Amino acid sequence: MNLVQAINDALKLEMKRDPRVVVLGEDVGRVGGVFRVTQGLWDEFGDDRVVDTPLSEGGILGTAIGMALYGLVPVPEIQFADFIFPGYDQIVSELAKMRWRSGGEYSAKMVVRTPVGGGIRGGLYHSQSPESLFIHVAGLKVVCPANPYDAKGLLLASLRDPDPVLFFEPKRIYRASRGDVPEGDYTVELGKAKIVREAEAAPGKPAVTILAWGAMLYEAVAAAEKALELGVECEIVDLRTLWPVDVETIAASVEKTGRVIVVHEAPKTCGFGAELVALINERCFLSLEAPPVRVAGFDTPFPYTLEMDYLPLAHRILPAIVETARY
Amino acid sequence: MSQSDTQQIPQQESPLTRPSGQLDHLADLYRQMLLIRRVEEEAARAYAQGKIGGFLHLYIGQEAVAVGSIAALKPEDYVVTTYRDHGVALAKGMSARALMAELFGKATGCSKGLGGSMHMFDAQTNMLGGYGIVGGHIPLAAGVAFASKYRADGRVTLCYFGEGAVSIGGFHEGVSLAALWKLPIVFICENNEYSMGTPLSRSMSVEDVSMKALGYGIDRDRFFVEDVLDVEQRIGEAVQRAREMSLPTLVEVRTYRFRGHSMSDPAKYRTQQELEERKKKDPLFRARVKLVDEGYGESRLKALEEAIEAEVADAVEFANTSPEPDPSLLESTTYDGPFAA
């Protein structure tokens, strides 16, 4: 199963299980979504539960918040994460604050699904990774799966979570990421990172922790393979849930290796890497053997050409690994 | 009346037809309007004393809109409103204590003191919030109505906003979806003629807000607020259309606020003469005159008014003596579950 199929499977399963779940968005019904993630849902669940909307992100998200206040579990799809900004006000001003401003009386439980990231030559309006803009807004949870198993399990966990979740789907690996996905119900706990590659540091043999998520996880793995040939071991942490971040798993890894690299597609300045490095400094300062490093997008709009230079691909991660290991 | 000639509106039943007890009903609406007026006056006093901070937008002058429209609802129906939300909250049945304590920022307030004046919220009375971003709550209210329709529970949502909100995208997105999906909602534009300090003529190309309904193919209504019973009747028609036919209506209610936009607004953009003229038409005052004229009895009115004074004094005392919220409340109300602090 690929990532698209796994997400589709999770939606289908939860819609059967929970009549409160309603999918809405542009082209999600008859068309099955621009990336076909909601394909077949409309045929199975009909107009009432799979709702085609006009191009109206503020309307989609605002309506979804009202539905959630009333006890439904809306799953709005925003066609591209880049299109979320007309509805950003609804997310920041209303969705994130609902539980708090009602003194804990109401929450707006929903999952906003949206494809994220570059690598499909989408240019400046179809490639961005705006996760830190949502992490910065207290009250939201932010998830980004890197494989079909996690995608299904994290989506089911998100749909059952009492808080609003931004579910970023790395579109570059929508179909490229394949793997076994169990039939039926299971969840992957929110807020738990996963060590996808372990490493041990030894005297004269440095190891480096790499923090990554989504499509860039595969670049980190590719760089780690190359680094091994150069005698540097890498421990790779797939964050899976970006917020609330699993700082315990990160700190344990960095305390072990003393060296850390954060990889993300978003521009470097004020990207989530900045927060991760700050957390590491707070938690692991005395364990550090080298300055933490960020390998990220550039502080520019996302380019149409030069895309493979803009993205923090393996060829950009590898020199950072070597430098950090030799520091 | 409704501008639609395609929709037949069925005959009204309760609560609009009250052959007996009409005067008692008017007295009850007068009581609610007076409660709002007196709570607002005491809030203004507390603001001047520094007990209420930040922003305070008073509903004085507009009471008949909230009270009359909510009189047309059932208790389980929903209301969603703007930052000028005290009147709607009280009319929906929230206690003066919870409101005043919220204004004072106390733990006993309706939102535990975290929201304040613009962000009232009361789950028990289905008051789904006052919203501080102009127009942002309009699609949200459409979503509440969507959920009503989805669950077929027969509930109606009232969504209030000022004429200033009509120029913002959220208004059009919310009304567009409500019209497309035929949602049981009444959009009530409380047109008080000034969006902050800018008069209608300087902020809208077409001053008749109800005209916006034409583009979306929904019913509309438009009237000046003079009599609270009239508001109940007119909004009641739209509520009935929502409840029985699941159709939205845009109602423009022309009203007037007697105070500035907020406590920091001296309202120099209008003349004293204009204000005095409008005060003569005060629906609260008119309701009292009507009660006296129709023989409700001065002594009963006095008793009613004394009870309001006691209720408001109790609310102020309650707010004064209530504890401040504990800082531990901050994180624990941001997230639920294992991530809550």
Write down the pLDDT at residue A141. 97
pLDDT (average), residues B134-163: 96
- Residue B224 CB neighbours (<10 A): 13
Q: What is the predicted pLDDT for the residue at A42?
A: 96
User: What does the alpha-carbon distance between residue A246 and residue A68 come to, in Å, rounded to a whole number?
Assistant: 27
Q: What region, left, alpha or beta, does residue A121 occupy, with left being phi > 0 and alpha being psi -120 to 50 degrees? A: left
The pLDDT, as a whole number, for residue B16 is: 42
> How many Cβ pairs closer than 8 A exist between chain A and B?
148
Q: How far apart are CA B130 and CA A243, in angstroms?
A: 28
Q: Give percent of chain A above pLDDT 90.
A: 93
Q: What is the pLDDT of residue B331?
A: 77
Long-range Cβ contacts of B47-54 (<8 Å, 24+ apart): B47/B263, B51/B104, B51/B319, B51/B320, B52/B103, B52/B104, B52/B105, B52/B117, B53/B105, B53/B116, B54/B116, B54/B117
Ramachandran sector of residue A184 (left: φ over 0; alpha: ψ -120 to 50; beta: rest):
left
Read off the CATH number of the domain in which B193 is found: 3.40.50.970
Residues of chain A with CATH 3.40.50.920: 194-326
Task: Give the active site residue among A126, A136, A264, A315.
Answer: A126
- Where do you find CATH 3.40.50.970 in chain A? 3-173
Average pLDDT over residues B281-286: 96
Is A52 part of the contact surface with chain B (CB cutoff 8 Å)? no
How many Cβ atoms are within 10 Å of A297's Cβ, its own excluded? 24
B339 is a domain residue = no
pLDDT of residue A104: 83
The amino acid at residue B213 is A
Is pTM beyond 0.90? Reply is no
Which residues 32-51 on chain A approach chain B with CB closer than 8 angstroms? 48, 51
B326 lies in some domain: no
Identify the band that residue A121 occupies on the pLDDT scale cut at 50, 70 and 90: confident
Residue B177 has pLDDT above 60, yes or no: yes
Res A268 pLDDT > 60: yes
Cβ-based contacts of B327 with chain A (< 8 Å) = none
CA A295/CA A224 separation, integer angstroms: 14
Res A117 pLDDT > 80: yes
Mean local confidence (pLDDT), A235-259:
97
How do residues B21-71 score in pLDDT, each as one tens digit?
899 999 999 999 999 999 999 999 999 999 998 889 999 999 999 999 999
Predicted confidence at residue B264, as pLDDT, reads 83
For the segment A103-107, the average pLDDT, to the nearest whole number, is 83
Q: How far apart are CA A198 and CA A325, in angstroms?
A: 16
Which has the minimum average pLDDT: A248-252, A274-278, A317-321, B10-14? Answer: B10-14
Does residue B260 or residue A258 have the better pLDDT? A258
How many degrees, rounded to 5, is the angle at CA A169 between CA A165 and CA A171? 160
**Does 3.40.50.970 match the CATH number of domain A3-173?**
yes
Digit-coded pLDDT (tens) for B110-142: 999 988 999 999 999 999 999 989 899 999 999
Residue B286 belongs to a domain: yes
State residue B10's pLDDT score.
40
Check CB contact under 8 Å for A163 and B337: yes
Instruction: Quickly state the pLDDT bin for B337 (edges 50, 70, 90).
Output: low
pLDDT at B328: 82
Cα–Cα distance for residue pair A45/A23, rounded to 1 Å: 10
Domain membership of residue B7 (yes or no) is: no
| Count of the separate structural domains present in chain B | 1
| B14 — pLDDT class (breaks 50, 70, 90) | very low
- Chain-chain contact of A101 with B337 (C-beta, under 8 angstroms): no
Domain span holding position B111: 22-317
Mean pLDDT throughout A215-225? 98
Kindly tell me if the per-residue pLDDT of B330 is higher than 90. Answer: no
Query: Within a domain: residue B325?
Result: no
Task: Note the pLDDT of residue B340.
Answer: 53
The answer to whether domain A194-326 has CATH 3.40.640.10 is no
Residue B117 placed within a domain: yes
Q: Is position A126 annotated as part of the catalytic site?
A: yes
Report A:85-104 residues touching B (Cβ under 8 A). 86, 89-90, 93-94, 99-104
Predicted confidence (pLDDT) at residue B11 exceeds the cutoff of 90: no
Q: What pLDDT shows up at residue B17?
A: 42
**Average per-residue pLDDT for chain B:** 91
Residue B301 forms part of a structural domain: yes
Residue A305 has a pLDDT of: 83
CA distance B253 to chain A (A): 24
